[in-house]
């Protein structure tokens, strides 16, 4: 069941509409629905859009690793829209299949370790011990490890949240659209 009704496209603010339309046209979003829901809080839509349009800019990990992590996080979080979209040209269907295979197949050792980091952070963060960090240090600088941690934590949380929204639900939304809920707090 869809949890929060998407803001109808024609009801979006001009800036939010521009973000949604441009993202869909550029192939950044498999569906406009999550963005239409995020638009209830314009600042959040802007933040997500900035992260997506600047994927890989200024990163120490590189755009390819960031995209592999984003897709793997979407797979783990059962976030269908994010699992379907591709935001980096280097990612192939074979790469995506490798993310599902034990050992992660044909990925480079650095890519495999980055995905293992995400898998462990998601399922068994207690297993990330001294030995694991020693392995990380063989493939990443300390700065890259910090970026890896923040990237994985942010992606996991966002994908799990999107999953809870049930954006492909086909029943009546739990929370119906009301323009008075856009960028406003409830009076307490």
Distances, alpha carbon 82 to alpha carbons 15, 24, 67, 70, 87, in Å: 22, 13, 10, 8, 10
Ordered by start, the domain boundaries in the chain are: 1-53, 60-168
How many angstroms separate the CA atoms of 129 and 106, rounded? 26
- Residue 56's pLDDT is what? 62
**pTM for this model (two decimals):** 0.82
- Residue 104's pLDDT is what? 60
Q: Which of 26-30, 45-49, 86-90, 159-163 has the lowest mean pLDDT?
A: 86-90
Q: Which CATH architecture has domain 60-168?
A: Up-down Bundle (1.20)
Q: Is the pLDDT of residue 96 over 80?
A: no
Please say whether the beta carbons of 37 and 165 come within 8 A.
Answer: yes
The chain-wide mean pLDDT, for the chain, equals 88
The 10s digit of each residue's pLDDT in 97-137 is 778 776 666 889 999 999 999 999 999 999 999 999 999 99
How many angstroms separate the CA atoms of 187 and 1, rounded? 27
- Residue 77's pLDDT is what? 85
């Amino acid at each position: 069941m869809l949890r929060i009704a998407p803001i109808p496209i024609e009801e979006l603010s001009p800036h939010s509409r521009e973000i949604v339309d441009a993202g869909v046209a550029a192939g950044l979003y498999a569906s406009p629905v999550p963005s239409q829901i995020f638009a209830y809080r314009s600042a959040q839509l802007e933040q997500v859009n900035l992260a997506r349009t600047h994927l890989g800019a200024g990163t120490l990990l590189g755009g390819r690793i960031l995209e592999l992590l984003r897709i793997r996080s979407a797979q783990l979080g059962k976030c269908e829209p994010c699992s379907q979209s591709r935001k980096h040209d280097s990612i192939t269907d074979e790469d995506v299949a490798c993310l599902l295979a034990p050992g992660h197949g044909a990925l480079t050792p650095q890519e495999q370790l980055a995905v293992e980091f995400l898998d462990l952070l998601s399922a068994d963060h207690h297993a990330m011990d001294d030995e694991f960090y020693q392995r990380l240090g063989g493939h990443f600088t300390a700065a890259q490890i910090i970026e890896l941690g923040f990237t994985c934590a942010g992606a996991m949380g966002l994908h799990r949240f999107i999953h809870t929204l049930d954006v492909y639900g086909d029943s009546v939304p739990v929370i119906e659209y009301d323009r008075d809920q856009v960028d406003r707090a409830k009076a307490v």
